[in-house]
């Protein structure tokens, strides 16, 4: 299934039904009387957050969302039927924004949460409504009000407890495939992951948490370089950032990139994109331990990073499984304590 995290849609609520002008004609009732019914209200367009939805792809094929209009009133005091509300199921984490200003209209971040995006028009009153002691035969009735309409942007921000960030090929996809049932594409070239992946991880005691694998970041990501700006927004929803660092990461010129330099580079991109991202609690994960010959030096690096950045730092190998159980328990504990 193709991952789409933004779509433009037109929304139109149903119009209210018109009131009815009618006078009854009954035998032995002189002049009868007004009995025009009221029109039914128009249906509203209501968005519902649904945990079984994972992409906005459907809205690329259905750009107009239209609720049913109310029916007109009838004689004999019959009110028109109300239009059916249109319930639109969207992924959890969907934001509804106004086109142009991108002003937030609704933020659906919990399963089952609802928001009325366009309210149906009110039904008009029939002439029976206007009968009074001084106006026994009112000719007046109301037309129905038009339903609200507009154009909006749907923007999906994944809801996860832990966001995996790091340079391309830092081992994020391999890790999420090891600790959850997620099966992202894995290869030995940069930008293997082109879309975020979600996985549910089970810790001891039956505790579960959700991990999001964010496509690799590079310097300049906040300016749109690589894939960064497209997917950095998905990190905003996470409670904890797991920063994966490959101790064997190379620069573009082929020389080694120090782990602390790799960590600082990605953190700089997060801060330039959003000040809030830089304040989220982090865990540093040194990956690919199976390919490191000098384990004493690797442990020294772990201790130095933990001391310098004042956050937990662990060593893992997603291939051999080294450190994976300990990492799961660490992430679970950090998620529970995160604000």
What's the mean pLDDT in 235-247? 87
158 pLDDT above the threshold of 70: yes
Do strands 6-12 and 23-24 pair parallel, antiparallel, or not at all (unpaired)?
A: unpaired
Do strands 45-50 and 208-213 pair parallel, antiparallel, or not at all (unpaired)?
A: unpaired
What pLDDT does residue 69 have?
A: 96
Query: Starting at the edge strand that comes first in sequence, how are the strands of the sheet with 240-245 ordered?
Result: 197-202, 208-213, 162-165, 240-245, 282-286, 313-315
Give the range with max mean pLDDT: 124-128, 178-182, 219-223.
124-128
Q: What are 92-129's pLDDT values in tens digits? A: 889 999 998 889 999 998 999 999 999 999 999 999 99
Domain termination residue (choose one: 156, 190, 220): 156
> In CATH, what number is assigned to the domain containing residue 41?
2.70.210.12
In a domain, residue 254? The reply is yes
In a domain, residue 240? The reply is yes
Question: Are residues 146 and 184 located together in one domain of the fold?
Answer: no
Domain termination residue (choose one: 110, 139, 156): 156
In a domain, residue 1? The reply is no
Question: Are residues 37 and 60 located together in one domain of the fold?
Answer: yes
What's the mean pLDDT in 168-192? 68
What pLDDT does residue 200 have?
A: 83
Beta carbons within 8 Å of 310's beta carbon, 6+ residues apart: none
In a domain, residue 253? The reply is yes
Domain termination residue (choose one: 121, 156, 191): 156
Question: Are residues 328 and 195 located together in one domain of the fold?
Answer: yes
197 pLDDT above the threshold of 90: no
Q: What are 25-66's pLDDT values in tens digits? A: 777 665 678 889 999 999 999 999 998 887 888 888 888 999
User: What tokens appear for 302 in the block?
Assistant: 């772990």
Domain count, the chain: 2
Question: Are residues 328 and 193 located together in one domain of the fold?
Answer: yes
What pLDDT does residue 53 have?
A: 85
| CA terminus-to-terminus distance, the chain | 33
Question: Are residues 200 and 112 located together in one domain of the fold?
Answer: no
**Arithmetic mean of pLDDT over the chain:** 84
Q: How confident is the model at residue 159 (pLDDT cuts 50, 70, 90)?
A: confident
What pLDDT does residue 132 have?
A: 87
Question: Are residues 315 and 190 located together in one domain of the fold?
Answer: yes
Question: Are residues 140 and 188 located together in one domain of the fold?
Answer: no
Long-range contacts of 59-62 (CB under 8 A, 24+ apart): 59/4, 59/7, 59/9, 59/154, 60/4, 60/7
What pLDDT does residue 54 have?
A: 79
Question: Are residues 239 and 289 located together in one domain of the fold?
Answer: yes
What pLDDT does residue 84 have?
A: 96
* Domain extent at residue 325: 162-337
Q: How confident is the model at residue 190 (pLDDT cuts 50, 70, 90)?
A: very low
Question: Are residues 24 and 65 located together in one domain of the fold?
Answer: yes
226 pLDDT above the threshold of 50: no
Would you call 229 exposed, middle or buried from its count of C-beta atoms within 10 A (0-12, 13-18, 19+)?
Answer: middle
Q: What are 304-322's pLDDT values in tens digits? A: 999 999 999 999 999 899 9
Question: Are residues 146 and 291 located together in one domain of the fold?
Answer: no
Would you call 101 exposed, middle or buried from its count of C-beta atoms within 10 A (0-12, 13-18, 19+)?
Answer: exposed
> In CATH, what number is assigned to the domain containing residue 311?
3.40.50.300
211 pLDDT above the threshold of 80: yes
């Amino acid at each position: 299934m193709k991952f789409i995290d933004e779509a433009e849609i037109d929304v139109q609520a149903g119009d209210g039904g018109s009131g009815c002008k009618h006078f009854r004609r009954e035998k032995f009732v002189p002049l009868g009387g007004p009995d025009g019914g009221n029109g039914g209200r128009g249906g509203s367009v209501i968005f519902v957050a649904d945990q079984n939805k994972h992409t906005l792809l459907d809205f690329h094929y259905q750009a107009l969302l239209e609720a049913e209009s109310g029916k007109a009133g009838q004689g004999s005091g019959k009110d028109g039927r109300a239009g059916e509300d249109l319930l639109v199921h969207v992924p959890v984490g969907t934001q509804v924004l106004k086109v142009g200003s991108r002003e937030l209209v609704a933020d659906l971040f919990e399963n089952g949460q609802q928001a009325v995006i366009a309210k149906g028009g009110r039904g008009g009153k029939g002439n029976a409504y206007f009968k009074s002691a001084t106006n026994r035969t009112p000719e007046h009735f109301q037309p129905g009000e038009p339903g609200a309409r507009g154009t909006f942007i749907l923007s999906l921000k994944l809801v996860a407890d832990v966001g995996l960030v790091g340079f391309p090929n830092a081992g994020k996809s391999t890790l999420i495939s090891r600790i959850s049932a997620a099966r992202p594409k894995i290869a030995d070239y940069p930008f293997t992951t082109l879309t975020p992946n979600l996985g549910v991880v089970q810790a001891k005691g039956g505790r579960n948490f959700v991990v999001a694998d964010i496509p690799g970041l590079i310097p300049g990501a906040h300016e749109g370089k690589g894939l960064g700006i497209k997917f950095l927004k998905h990190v905003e929803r996470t409670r904890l950032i797991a920063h994966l660092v490959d101790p064997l990461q190379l620069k573009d010129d082929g020389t080694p990139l120090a782990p602390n330099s790799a960590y600082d580079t990605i953190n700089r991109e997060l801060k330039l994109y959003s000040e809030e991202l830089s304040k989220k609690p982090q865990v540093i994960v040194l990956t690919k331990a199976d390919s490191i010959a000098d384990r004493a030096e690797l442990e020294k690096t772990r201790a130095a990073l933990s001391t310098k950045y004042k956050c937990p730092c662990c060593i893992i190998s997603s291939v051999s499984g080294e450190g994976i159980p300990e990492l799961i328990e660490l992430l679970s504990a950090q998620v529970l304590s995160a604000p």
